[in-house]
Structure 1
Amino acid sequence: MFDEHIFTDKFNNGFSVVLAVIVALSTLFTILLLTLPSQYDPYTDKPHRYVDQEGKEVKMETRDGKDPLQWKQGRTVQVVVLGDIGRSPRMQYHALSIAKHGGRVFLIGYQESEIHPDIVTNPLIDIIALVPAPSFLRNSSKLLFPILAPLKVLWQVRSLYRALGYRSEAARWMLVQNPPSIPTLAIASWVCFLRNTELVIDWHNFGYSILAMKLGNSHPLVNISAWYESIFAKVAAHHITVTDAMARVLKNDYGVIAQALHDRPVSIFRPIDSEERAKFLARLPETAQYASDLLPKSKTPWKLIVSATSWTADEDFSLLLDALCAYSAECTSKTHLPKLLAIITGKGPQKDHYLSKIKALNQEKKLLNVIITTAWLIPSDYALLLASADLGVSLHTSSSGVDLPMKVVDMFGAGLPVVGWGKFEAWPELVKQGVNGLGFQSAEELALQLDAFFGRETELRKTLKEGALKESAYRWDDEWDTVGGKLFKLT
């Protein structure tokens, strides 16, 4: 028998549940709308007033202290790197160049090492530090990578989204370093959509090619990463690359147009005279005990070589170790060859592994004529070290073949000739063979180059030094103004 009361009660209960769900969803949707990041509005993008303790307005000065900065309306830029800001010189240089031309900058990234002092003191640049992932998520184990990597990405998603959407003001432009591409490009694209911001990708390399060095070219995650990168490349409004070769790949493979903005040194990297060199070598802990031997007036002068490395898989440090062992053996029979002090700068995951190898080689007496030491220097001392060295060594092998090591740019800025791994397409864009440097493709070839460079014949040494000094005349500001300045409508 049909019971009308029971049916009515069930209907009312069901209707109440549906109504409650609708109200809950509506409330959540309203909260979501109200808590979305604010949109960029050019009419409210106004200059900030800087006042002293007495309330008087302070003029913002340029880096040279000569002219006050003129803030330009509608030129706010978020500069983003999902990495250590202090170890991302190109993104720091972007921030300084934007601020130099009156743009307001929010520099977003991890704050793990020293940041360029001009950034710290510039009133137009705010540093938004990302919250680092817990240590257990930063385990470098290849076995645990498939498990920890997704968890680390989720942590980065939350931290990056908060920084881009809530901890910094809405900007007209967002300049993002790639790689890392996951999750950076997805989060940046979404925030740009929400905040009415134009996305600009600065391509340093391809994320999938770096991942392939860890997992192999055929790994499914590498294929997914390549697909992901190509999709979000099409979302961006503008693209900048470090080489012409990379711009060509983006056009051919991704169907996007990019403009090359080659790395150039900033003013901190410069040649120095013999007096300044002697003072620096005497005060730097890594060179102090050898300072007198490194001077030309020494009876048996030593030579100083420098290599900056991130101690990662794309920089095979064993190449330099094998070459130095071969050079040390040559010194025994060729007494005219100088002893070498090799200073290796940088931090990275493979550092301890190679330090143990160096210790073993010393115990085996394979480095009798070479001393290898490591250092982590503040920017000003690193620049002086390059200017004090006789030869720079680059071990960057390029996972994609179309990126370039910025360390070579810094070496040229200091007037330092370079030998480096040259077996990739973009290398000739930076180094002119036999003019300002040499490219090698094996440890044996590097050993021969060290022998020739430091041998009795001085012509090669003189030619490469002159070429490096000539290269030091090309500066970041000149390159940036013609590309970045025009893109951000600052020049």
Structure 2
Amino acid sequence: MIDTAISIAFWASSLLTLAILLLPSQYNPQKARQNGSDKSQVRVQILVLGDIGRSPRMQYHALSIARRGGHVDIIGYNESDPHPDLTSNAAISIVPLPPHPAFLQTSNKLLFLVFAPLKVLFQIASLWACLAYRTKPAKWMLIQNPPSIPTLAVASVVCFLRQTRLVIDWHNFGYSILALKLGDGHPVVRLSKWYERVFCGMATAHLCVTRAMARVLKEDFGIMQAPILPLHDRPASHFKPILDSKETIQFLQSLPEAAAVKAELETGEARVLVSSTSWTADEDFSVLIDALCQYSKIACTENTSLPRVLAIITGKGPQKEMYLNEISAREAAGKLEKVTIKTAWLTTLDYAKLLGCASLGVSLHTSSSGVDLPMKVVDMFGAGLPVVGWSRFEAWPELVTEGVNGRGFGSAQELSEHLTDLFGSSGKLQTLREGAQKESLRRWDQEWDPIAGKLFGLVD
């Protein structure tokens, strides 16, 4: 009996010693002050449980922090090229997360429920290693939400152990996106909402993309003590209007996707429509396909003066192949005679140029929560590009002023009517363009400095 007790005590003390030795190092404000000025000692971990290159808002956060004297470790998946300024800035370190095994990715609902816990366990291990050991202790941790599982829980524990202040940047709600796949009443969705409510209480402060979202966080999530700061998305400097018509034509004609309409672009007989999508369930891309089919029918039979439309769709995602098959079927049926639809994957700078050269932007973002906004519209406004977008959600008026810089729609029929009206009357499209160009003057730094800049102590 004594030998057993001694053995248990030995192993217990050994495990406790090992746990203490393996605790991550803590942030030490005194040591940080000794190593530099108040601003230079501000280190921020930025966590994106997604592709860094496809997370523009978090990249803009990193650039703003670095440009104002702070240091950044931006953590996420390194799947596509990030903003070039990110990789060239010595104050920013990109810390890649290991990708999860391919067999854990599935669109099957039953397999999703089986594989999801395994995927979460893998992510917990990789996040813990990265946040606690692969990066230096930081004064702040800024995390993108969603995804919330397991990000919020792991980040909360790491911040507690490392004496780091946690800030959540709310782009949407994780449970509302999960509900798109499983349904609002599913037990996993209800559990996800509870989880999100519990762990958001660990944050020192909250940033969110709309005032409507700030209201939900306060009223529904019960956040009362920590500040909730609406920080609207604004375009980065590389999104800007291109006013030189010759430069516009040259760039568009250089795109492989425009090969079929090169001559019509030069004569002004074609218009370029741009949409960016992640090809996921929260964007019903068939709405745009149906609208373009209706436009083509009208242009062929009722109003033959309407121009040909070149629709360039950018982005990657799980439903892309399904929609490409649908487009091919419509083309084969002769329903897109006056419309050419092409998909593209462009560099950050070429995408910005495309927006600056296009005639009209389209957003199909429907908002699972009703209180988030599509970043793509912000980028379009940055390039002075007028927008037509799905507008049947609460936060839409925070971004688009109807009839001034864009128009909203709620069906394929409405979208088709907007396309025929705008492309059939250059005056109406020009009015929206002037409004979009005025909107382009509002930039990210102007929004970031008085809100996030002050929060992180980088702006007086």
Q: TM-score, with normalisation over the residues of structure 2?
A: 0.97
1:160-186 deviation digits (Å, cap 9, x = unpaired): 111100000000000000000000000
- Are 1:42 and 1:73, in contact at CA under 8 Å, matched by a contact in 2? no
Q: CA deviation at 1:293?
A: 1.4
CA distance in 1, matches of 2:432, 2:206: 34
Given the alignment, which residue of 282, 286, 291 partners 1:323? 291
The residue type paired with residue 204 of structure 1 is: H
Q: Quick check: 1:249 aligned with 2:216?
A: yes
Q: CA deviation at 1:141?
A: 1.6
Q: Quick check: 1:277 aligned with 2:248?
A: yes
Q: CA deviation at 1:78?
A: 0.2
Write the mapping of 1:456-471 to structure 2, written as runs, cut at 5 A: 457-471=425-439
- Are 1:309 and 1:344, in contact at CA under 8 Å, matched by a contact in 2? yes
CA distance in 2, matches of 1:371, 1:316: 19
User: 1:99–1:121: structure 2 CA closer, same or farther, 3 Å change rule?
Assistant: same
User: 1:489–1:332: structure 2 CA closer, same or farther, 3 Å change rule?
Assistant: same
For 1:66, the equivalent position in structure 2 comes to none
CA distance in 2, matches of 1:385, 1:93: 20
SS in 1 for 2:110: coil
For 1:263, the equivalent position in structure 2 comes to 233
Higher mean Cα deviation, 202-211 or 276-285? 276-285
CA distance in 2, matches of 1:34, 1:46: 26
Q: Quick check: 1:335 aligned with 2:322?
A: no
CA distance in 2, matches of 1:304, 1:182: 39
The residue type paired with residue 387 of structure 2 is: V
Q: Quick check: 1:32 aligned with 2:22?
A: no
- Are 1:45 and 1:76, in contact at CA under 8 Å, matched by a contact in 2? no
- Are 1:71 and 1:104, in contact at CA under 8 Å, matched by a contact in 2? no
Q: Quick check: 1:17 aligned with 2:4?
A: yes
Which is greater in Rg? 1
User: 1:255–1:105: structure 2 CA closer, same or farther, 3 Å change rule?
Assistant: same
CA distance in 2, matches of 1:114, 1:74: 28
> For this pair of structures, how many residues does the alignment match?
454
CA distance in 2, matches of 1:284, 1:47: 53
User: 1:47–1:451: structure 2 CA closer, same or farther, 3 Å change rule?
Assistant: farther
- Are 2:212 and 2:395, in contact at CA under 8 Å, matched by a contact in 1? yes
CA distance in 2, matches of 1:292, 1:99: 45
User: 1:43–1:291: structure 2 CA closer, same or farther, 3 Å change rule?
Assistant: farther
For 1:62, the equivalent position in structure 2 comes to none
Given the alignment, which residue of 299, 312, 322 partners 1:353? 322
For 1:120, the equivalent position in structure 2 comes to 87
CA distance in 1, matches of 2:263, 2:53: 32
SS in 1 for 2:109: coil
For 1:434, the equivalent position in structure 2 comes to 403
- Are 2:120 and 2:149, in contact at CA under 8 Å, matched by a contact in 1? yes
Identify which of structures 1 and 2 has the higher relative contact order when contacts are C-alpha pairs closer than 8 Å and 6+ apart.
2
Q: CA deviation at 1:458?
A: 3.0
CA distance in 1, matches of 2:68, 2:140: 15
CA distance in 1, matches of 2:269, 2:30: 64
- Are 1:312 and 1:348, in contact at CA under 8 Å, matched by a contact in 2? yes
SS in 2 for 1:380: helix
SS in 1 for 2:283: coil
Unaligned runs of 5+ in 1: 1-13, 50-69
The residue type paired with residue 24 of structure 1 is: W
- Are 1:47 and 1:72, in contact at CA under 8 Å, matched by a contact in 2? no
SS in 1 for 2:176: helix
Given the alignment, which residue of 50, 62, 82 partners 1:83? 50
For 1:396, the equivalent position in structure 2 comes to 365
The residue type paired with residue 416 of structure 1 is: L
CA distance in 2, matches of 1:71, 1:90: 25
Q: CA deviation at 1:289?
A: 4.4
For 1:481, the equivalent position in structure 2 comes to 449
Q: CA deviation at 1:469?
A: 0.5
For 2:332, the equivalent position in structure 1 comes to 363
Q: Quick check: 1:133 aligned with 2:120?
A: no
- The answer to which structure has the higher helix fraction is 2
CA distance in 1, matches of 2:308, 2:84: 36
For 1:57, the equivalent position in structure 2 comes to none
For 1:373, the equivalent position in structure 2 comes to 342
The residue type paired with residue 139 of structure 1 is: T
Q: CA deviation at 1:226?
A: 0.3
Write the mapping of 1:56-455 to structure 2, written as runs, cut at 5 A: 72-256=39-223, 257-272=227-242, 273-295=244-266, 298=267, 301-333=269-301, 334-455=303-424
The residue type paired with residue 73 of structure 2 is: F
The residue type paired with residue 479 of structure 1 is: E
Q: CA deviation at 1:284?
A: 1.9
Q: CA deviation at 1:231?
A: 0.4
- Are 1:47 and 1:71, in contact at CA under 8 Å, matched by a contact in 2? no
CA distance in 1, matches of 2:229, 2:261: 45
SS in 2 for 1:132: coil
- Are 1:294 and 1:303, in contact at CA under 8 Å, matched by a contact in 2? yes
CA distance in 2, matches of 1:385, 1:459: 22
CA distance in 1, matches of 2:350, 2:38: 32
CA distance in 2, matches of 1:283, 1:336: 26
CA distance in 2, matches of 1:288, 1:476: 35
- Are 1:178 and 1:206, in contact at CA under 8 Å, matched by a contact in 2? yes
Q: CA deviation at 1:48?
A: 8.2
SS in 2 for 1:158: helix
- Are 2:313 and 2:342, in contact at CA under 8 Å, matched by a contact in 1? yes
The residue type paired with residue 237 of structure 1 is: T
- Are 2:35 and 2:41, in contact at CA under 8 Å, matched by a contact in 1? no
Q: CA deviation at 1:202?
A: 0.1
The residue type paired with residue 435 of structure 2 is: G
- Are 2:39 and 2:457, in contact at CA under 8 Å, matched by a contact in 1? no
SS in 2 for 1:38: coil
Q: CA deviation at 1:198?
A: 0.4
The residue type paired with residue 91 of structure 2 is: L
Q: Detail structure 1 runs of 4+ shifted over 4 Å in the superposition.
A: 46-49
